[in-house]
Structures are given as C-alpha cells and as structure tokens.
A and B are shown apart, each in its own frame.
Chain A
Amino acid sequence: QVYLVQSGAEVKRPGASVRLSCKASGYTFPNSGVSWVRQAPGQGLEWLGWVSTFEHNPGYAPKVQDRITLTTDTSTSTAYMELRSLTSDDTAIYYCARDLHFIRDLWGQGTMVTVSS
C-alpha cells in the first residue's frame, strides 16, 4: 500500500517556528516531488511549495517564500516543512501530497497547526 504519514498536531506561540514531517511508504520516494498545501479554518486550499530529490531548488509560493523551507531525506523517504515567524494567520491544517507534474494523487492525513498566545 502507498501512503504518506504526517507528524502530529502542533501548538505554537506567535513568532515561533514549526517543523512538520511527511513519511512516504509503498513507492519510490525519489521518483516524485512533494507539495505542501494548507487549509485555514473556513478557507480554501492554499499551495505553499514543492520539493523533490531531483530538482535542486524547491519552489515556494510568494506569500510564504521568506518564511518557509522544504527539504527531503531520501534515506528515510521523508519530506519536511519548516515555517518560521508564525502568526495566527498560519493556523491551519497542513497537508503533504505526492506531486508529479502538478498531479497530486496521494495525500497525507494532515497536521493541525495552531498558533496562539
């Protein structure tokens, strides 16, 4: 079976950073990229960025490009997202998704990130 398993819920203070993980199983991790997508309460889906093991430069959405870093660890088939300088606007469910040529066919279960003082 193929799946992506994400790390658990996080609660952070404003100004802090959060690092989420997304572990792939059942497929060849280096053959696809990983996109990160979030959904804030009552809002739509928002693409944050994309990373792969075969492209040297990750792609980031302009809205978060100064605060986000995406990486991968091929030895553990895991993708990571770090988001810095958190504000309440970053409160959302964060998803990772397998992404090959913009086709996001496999999704993690989501990680709730709450930013609150």
Chain B
Amino acid sequence: IVMTQAPATLSLSPGERATLSCRAGQSIASSQLSWYQKKPGQAPRLLIYATSIRAAGIPARFSGSGSGTDFTLTISSLQPEDFAVYYCQQNFFGGGTRVELK
C-alpha cells in the first residue's frame, strides 16, 4: 500500500503547531498506522502506533488521529528538539515530512 505524506516540508517556529498529513492508497486498519521521527545520525524513533497511541516516553505534545485513508500527526507546540523528518508507515513508509526551523 502506497503511503503519501504532505507537505514535503513545513517551516515553523518553536512554539507553533505542526500538522502533518499521511494518506494511504487504500483504506487501512487503524491498528496498522505508525509515525516515526528521524534525525541525522540516529535510528528512527517510534512516536505513535495504532494511529493514536503514543509510544513509551513520547511527550504528550505529539498526537495522532485519523481513519480509513487519511491520518494526521500533530505536534501541539514545537520544541527545538522536534525539528526532524517524520514518516508515516503502514508496511511501507511515506516519503516523509521535514519540519524545519523558520
């Protein structure tokens, strides 16, 4: 199943809200949608699984929602350490959204 993310890049300032979108090529079970954070030189980090469940140790400012083919990752108030690339994944990964400092 092809996963498509938008936008490719988000330019935001610390404290702002980030909204990242992910669309599946066909309807998927909510249990199958995860979000990862990737920083240079580091392994990917699981943020959200089953659409909306935060992984262990993930701050509450990260939240996930959606169903069917449309899913969203929201970062309520960007912290300096949140500037990174974010990937959604069912089995295959989406192309990623880079959240960069404005």
Contact = CB atoms under 8 A, between A and B. Distances in A.
A46 interface: yes
Interface in B59-102: 85, 87, 89-96
Residue of A45, A97, A108 ringed by the most chain B CB atoms within 10 A: A45
Contacts of B95: 44
A45 B44 contact: yes
Residue of A44, A46, A47, A102 ringed by the most chain B CB atoms within 10 A: A102
A95 B89 CA distance: 15
B36 A104 contact: yes
Contacts of B89: 45, 47, 102, 104
Given A102-B34, A105-B55, A47 B91 contact: yes
Nearest to A59: B91
B69 to A, nearest CB: 16
Contacts of B44: 37, 45, 95, 97, 104, 107
A68 B28 CA distance: 27
Contact of B87 (A45, A61, A109): A45
A109 to B, nearest CB: 6
Given A37-B44, A95-B44, A105-B55, A47 B49 contact: no
Nearest to A99: B91
Given A102-B91, A103-B49, A45 B55 contact: no
A44 B97 CA distance: 10
Interface of A: 37, 39, 44-47, 50, 61, 95, 97, 101-105, 107-110
10 contacts: A37-B44, A37-B93, A44-B93, A44-B95, A45-B89, A47-B92, A95-B44, A102-B34, A104-B89, A107-B45
Interface of B: 31-32, 34, 36, 38, 43-46, 49-50, 55, 85, 87, 89-96
Given A39-B38, A45-B93, 10 more contacts: A44-B95, A44-B96, A45-B38, A45-B44, A46-B93, A47-B93, A97-B44, A102-B32, A103-B46, A104-B89
